Amino acid sequence: MARLGGILVAYGAIIGLSDNLGYVLPAIIGLESMGIPSPGETALVLAAILASQGKLQIWLVILIGVSSAILGDNLGYLLGRRYGRDVLARPGPFYHRRLRTIAYGDGFFKRHGPKAVFLGRWIALVRFATAWLAGINRMPLRLFFFWNALGGISWGLAYGLAGYYGGHAAAHVLAQAGLVGLGVMVAMAVAAVVIVRRRERRAAEDARE
């Protein structure tokens, strides 16, 4: 990811000479949102910096970034809901382990789905997978759409304005704050696993009785 970011920095410097081409940068966010690892965060910040230099319009940069994020996430959600669960539940190697993973995920998204979708947008290592996981674990579409849109809009505004007014340094502060969100999500995931395992043990004990 760091290497891709470096390539994107060089690319941004080149296309900075052409105003209209700069709007391609925030569109890259859609690839990341669909589940394709891409430096979407870096792309948005670079486009915002170009806007601060008068080469792009910041409102259009943010609009493209937010729209790409939301559309990409919803496509990832629909693909995960349509195909992801069937693939994981297909007989084969680690079949029972995969079924347990689905059960853990169902419990997690049932309890923490809105928080996971919102916070996932702010965490680079989680962002590209959150929508797929929400779809695989059958989070209700309306609930997903609302919290995903809220996360995408707030994230796009925050990073777009940070890049516009503060450059890379301000965006770095936001990225560090995202690590706190990662810790929160890990804690929620552990809690979900513990709850599911307790229920499994209770069900097994009831069956023996």
Domain ranges of the chain: 2-208
* pLDDT value at residue 185: 47
Confidence of residue 190 (pLDDT cuts 50, 70, 90): low
Q: Tell me the three-class secondary structure of the chain, residue by residue.
A: CHHHHHHHHHHHHHHCCCCHHHHHHHHCHHHHHCCCCCCHHHHHHHHHHHHHCCCCCHHHHHHHHHHHHHHHHHHHHHHHHHHHHHHHCCCCCCHHHHHHHHHHHHHHHHHHHHHHHHHHCCCHHHHHHHHHHHHHCCCCHHHHHHHHHHHHHHHHHHHHHHHHHHHHHHHHHHHHHHHHHHHHHHHHHHHHHHHHHHHHHHHHHHHHC
Rounded to two decimals, what is the model's pTM? 0.71
Model confidence over 127-183: pLDDT tens digits? 888 999 999 999 999 999 999 999 999 999 988 888 888 776 655 555 554 444 445
Model confidence over 58-74: pLDDT tens digits? 999 999 999 999 999 99
